[in-house]
Amino acid sequence: MIQLHDLQFEPYLSEKEINEAIDKLAEQLNRDYEGDTPVFLGVLNGAFMFASEIIKRFKGDCEVSFVKLGSYEGTRSTGDVKTLLGLNQSLKGRRVVLIEDIVDTGNTLEEINEILKKEGVADYKVLTLFFKPEAYKKSIKIDYKGMEIPNKFIVGYGLDYDGLGRNLTEVYKRKEQ
């Protein structure tokens, strides 16, 4: 059990389980992008650990960029996605792999979808470590899913609760009261 701010969290996914999911995703990406030079576009802050691991396992040439958006206050999505830090390179005509830590409502994805359309990318695929199918409300295809999980609030492996917990190498879920 761990305490972050005012909430308690209990162990949920081990580092081993997370690494196994990342290995499988990396195998798929290596197959699908063999001979290509994709741009991996990580969504900060949450995806930094996942992005690092995926990129280390990618066997071909690639470029890396990041975008920062936010929609959370505490444990709830505000529903209002704010662009906090934009792209620092042109993606026109490029193949992009969007790296998300978690997809729940899909609001962030919808915002990034608009950004990528304006950029004129050749195509893009969505890669997420965690996917909450019961929370997902959008129609954007999630191409690569590490793990499907219930709609519970989790921290660790890049995910936080009001800034804490990102550095945990395992994932914890909010303890039910």
Q: What burial class does residue 109 get, using C-beta atoms within 10 Å of its C-beta: 0-12 exposed, 13-18 middle, 19+ buried?
A: buried
Please indicate whether residue 104 is annotated as part of the active site. yes
Determine the 3-state secondary structure of 153 from DSSP: coil
Count CB-CB contacts under 10 A for residue 143. Answer: 15
Rounded to a whole number of angstroms, the CA Rg of the chain reads: 16
| Options 32, 80, 101, 104, the catalytic residue | 104
Q: Decide: 80 and 12 in contact? Cβ < 8 Å.
A: no
Residues with active-site annotation = 104
